[in-house]
């Protein structure tokens, strides 16, 4: 497995780098025989260190966590513990995820739009504001069950996830609500009344 340890405006020493690499390797090997890659980014904001960990364990499956503390070792330990807990929780479902599923993913384009500045003038008409595209990427909308979609959203620490519902093939979305629960959007197909 390829492991990348980076410091964002911070020099990650050899001891911490070796500790991070061995810990991530152990956690990934405990649950998967051939994880793909991992990226750990250490950063510092005033006196608080932050560790962002992303482990790519399979096609389209990434696990993301973060930790923060006044000690960089403790910050990384918190993030690593969360990755371990997520992988332990979803271990069986992740291993069985692609067995027996030959459905094609739907190709799509993903865009990043610039946020509208708060001090920008009001548009003349309601449709006057045109967002600026700052990035465009190819992506795929996977065929998943609702449970698999919630698992993917949790593992990636994403606020929302669009997917094709395996039950009927239509586009659906799950999202994290402000109250902590998960919302699910399942629009009726055009053939239904």
**pLDDT mean by block of 10 residues, the chain; 193 residues:** 91 93 91 87 93 86 92 95 90 64 76 77 63 89 92 91 93 95 90 53
Helix (H) or strand (E) holding 56: strand 48-58
Q: What is the DSSP letter of 166?
A: T
Helical H segments across the chain, by residue range: 14-31, 72-95, 146-155
> Which candidate, 139, 135, 171, 179, places its Cα nearest to that of 156?
139
Query: What pLDDT, on the 0 to 100 scale, is given for residue 39?
Result: 94
Q: What is the Cα–Cα distance from 188 to 178, expressed in whole angstroms?
A: 25
> How far apart, in Å, are the Cα atoms of 43 and each of 25, 59, 71, 103, 168?
21, 28, 11, 40, 44
Query: What pLDDT, on the 0 to 100 scale, is given for residue 193?
Result: 47
Query: What pLDDT, on the 0 to 100 scale, is given for residue 100?
Result: 46
State if pTM tops 0.75. no
> Which candidate, 156, 155, 146, places its Cα nearest to that of 183?
146
> How far apart, in Å, are the Cα atoms of 58 and each of 62, 64, 72, 119?
7, 13, 28, 43
Domains of the chain, start order: 2-95 (3.30.160.100), 106-185 (3.30.505.50)
């Amino acid at each position: 497995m390829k492991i990348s340890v980076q410091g964002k405006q911070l020099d990650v020493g050899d001891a911490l780098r070796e500790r991070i690499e061995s810990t991530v390797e152990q956690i990934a090997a405990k649950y998967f025989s051939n994880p793909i890659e991992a990226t750990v980014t250490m950063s510092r904001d005033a006196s608080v260190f932050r560790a962002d960990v992303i482990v790519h364990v399979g096609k389209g499956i990434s696990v993301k966590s973060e930790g923060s503390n006044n000690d960089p070792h403790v910050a990384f330990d918190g993030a690593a513990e969360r990755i371990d807990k997520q992988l332990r929780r979803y271990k069986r479902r992740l291993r069985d995820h692609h067995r027996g599923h030959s459905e094609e993913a739907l190709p799509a384009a993903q865009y990043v739009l610039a946020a509208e500045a708060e001090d920008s003038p009001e548009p003349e008409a309601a449709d006057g504001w045109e967002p600026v595209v700052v990035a465009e990427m190819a992506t795929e909308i996977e065929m998943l069950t609702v449970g698999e979609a919630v698992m993917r959203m949790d593992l990636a620490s994403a606020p929302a996830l669009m997917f094709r519902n395996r039950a009927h093939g239509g586009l659906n979305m799950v999202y994290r609500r402000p109250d902590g629960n998960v919302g699910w959007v399942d629009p009726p197909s055009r053939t239904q009344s």
